[in-house]
Amino acid sequence: MTRAEAVAGLQRALKISRELAAVADGGDLKLTLSLDAERRQLLKSLRGALQPLDDEHRSVLREIAALNDQALGLLEHRRRAKGRDMDMLAVGRRALRAYSSTLLQR
């Protein structure tokens, strides 16, 4: 792989990272995982071709890492929200069972 192809691949990885963060914000886990796998494979293939790294390429890699952290944070937030929703649903079901037996006794 030539250096020019590697630079183009790095820009593609940045584009995928931006898309991944947007998809993670929307909550589409399947597409998020697919984009992450595509990006990971692309970055692996670029590893040797970009040596030595200049400041511009380091900056792109830092942006990719920041977008990755953002996507992980968004997914973690959604996971915790789902957990809270499930807890509240369980509380509601317990309350329904408790009060429905009281109503039947009247």
- Domain range summary for the chain, segments of one domain joined by +: 3-105
- Tell me whether residue 70 is exposed, middle or buried, using C-beta atoms within 10 angstroms of its C-beta: 0 to 12, 13 to 18, 19 or more: middle
Q: Which two tokens stand for residue 80?
A: 């915790």
Phi, psi values for residue 39, rounded to 5°:
-65, -40
Do 71 and 21 meet the contact criterion of CB atoms below 8 Å apart?
A: yes
pLDDT for res 106: 55
Q: What's the rounded Cα separation, in Å, for the pair 14 and 65? A: 9
pTM for the whole thing? 0.76
19-68 pLDDT tens trace: 999 999 888 889 999 999 999 999 999 888 878 888 999 999 999 999 99
Do 36 and 20 meet the contact criterion of CB atoms below 8 Å apart?
A: yes
pLDDT band at residue 104 under the 50/70/90 scheme? low
